[in-house]
Structure 1
Amino acid sequence: MSVLQNHYDILIIGAGPIGMACAIEAQKANLSYVIIEKGALVNSLFNYPVFMTFFSTSQKLEIGGVPFVTISPKPNRNEAVEYYRRVAEKFSLNINLFEMVNQVTKNTAGTFEINTSKANYTANNVIVSTGFYDVPLLMNIPGEDLPKVTHYYKDPHLYAFQNVVVVGANNSGVDAALETYRKGANVTLVVRSGELGPHVKYWVRPDIQNRIKEGEVKAFFNSELVEIRADEVDIKTPEGIQTIPNDFVIAMTGYQPDFSMLRKFGIDLPENLCPVYNEETMETNVKGLYLAGVVCGGLDTHKLFIENSRIHAEMIVNNIIDA
């Protein structure tokens, strides 16, 4: 089978909302482009919990000037996935799905050579818009690799009538604890700090606080999971090790960008792991290689969201036009 050769003004890695926004801006500027996505359209959103509700309003999630109309002020995951699919259709975006980018290399001519799982491409510019959902932050404890442990919570029905440990103090952990509790699970919440995270949605915080107060969800604060076994877990608490029965562990410990990929592309990563880029143009230390969206925040994944990184698309394309 012959390997395809394709050249574009811009090659975009990642078909999330910001990658799509970059494609729309490129299209408006009459620049040729292609989006390469290793999974489904808006793959990260697709993998969000089925019943997740966004903190942002639907208006703040809009791209390309396409209205995002919902019944509730805050849309849910299913509405968002459908919205972005319709945006892709409206603009007839050039997207190659289920194609993994292996390497991006700048040649002596100043253009980029991109190798993927399906083809080879060349491009004058590359935009990396891969988000941060691909690499979970591991607990690095015995038993974390057991099949009953997940870092990606999807649907609470799986956990009905089971002994479930949820690790995490922020929105993902709180949502998992509440939803599995309401499906009949016996839920234990393990929180490393002394309180719930500061970013927990304001309409959810009283709910989890009351469930803990009533003893419907058991919570260990200033505690950490230290070992997982087939039918029980050990929790290190201020009172010592607590061993409790367990069927499933939902480890909502957070995620991080694929730093190894960024390094492989030649992007500088200092000790704080925040990629080096120009905040006015989004261009990295590699000329013509740009970052867009949440990937720009490094480990600080609460810094950037769809609503405050949509502007990256226009900044990047304007810089490319002016170059």
Structure 2
Amino acid sequence: MAALTVLLGDYPHTRPLKDGTLAVAGVDCRFASSSPLYPAFARMVRDLEFDVCELALATYLQAREAGVPITLLPVVLIGGTHHRSLTRLPGGPALAPGELAGQRVGVRSYSQTTGLWVRGILREQYGVEASDVTWVTTEEPHVRHYREPAYVTRSSAGQVADLLRDGEVAAAVLGPRAIGGQGAGLVPVIPDAHDAERAWLDHHGFVPANHLVVVRDDVLRADPDAVRALYHALADAIGATADRRDDSPAGRAVAAGWSEQLAGCLDLAARYALEQELVRAPIDLAAIEKEAAFLT
């Protein structure tokens, strides 16, 4: 029996695989764990520690440009809208999104995927370029050889919300889980953020993806049938747990399979990444789709 070392987050749609409720035909899946999850992304793109691994979208785009030998599996494990991810302290002076030019904004890492989507929103809807802002980070990028732009700086603060509360930044980018944790009590910079999110979704026609799945190229070459079996089992688990997800953007984001929505998402994320100097050359999206064709 083939064996795969797999790292996936703990979600309703991954649990059937991880607890053995849904078997992966002909494959012994050895599930690793990481808490929190995101530090394992660096271990994957730097050391190829896992055979199959959940990975942030921005990290995948950077790793691809850097030549890291991994292939994307078309599975979205986490996604959602991000207008509410741009936060500020309550009770302070009013701060409009367009007024962030010339300001300092905190974000865990410049290459964090939530930050990619927020900067895209700022440019697209409010005319603020990534280079108009000084991005204050608390962590380095996952991809070892990536060099941040000159308008990115590092702070010794422990958490992004600390930057805001200590007065180091005017606003802070927080992922959905951080908003409910370290960001408790903060408020969105974008007015009527919920309505702005709905308008963004109506305009673009897809929910932004945050985490997808990748496989090491050598594992894929050695045993494509095992990788295919894991992918189909994960797709089955996503389908079987559909009734546990609501109709929110986060619920609708979870999906398996190449689709027009996923292609649109990757296309826009790649464009944003190039505009923001997360990557320095255009991403070949046709090649990504072609590589995923082995699953069908």
TM class, shorter-chain normalised?
under 0.3
Higher strand share: 1
Which is greater in Rg?
1
Higher helix share: 2
Flag the structure with more relative contact order, 1 or 2, with Cα contacts below 8 A and sequence separation at least 6.
Answer: 2
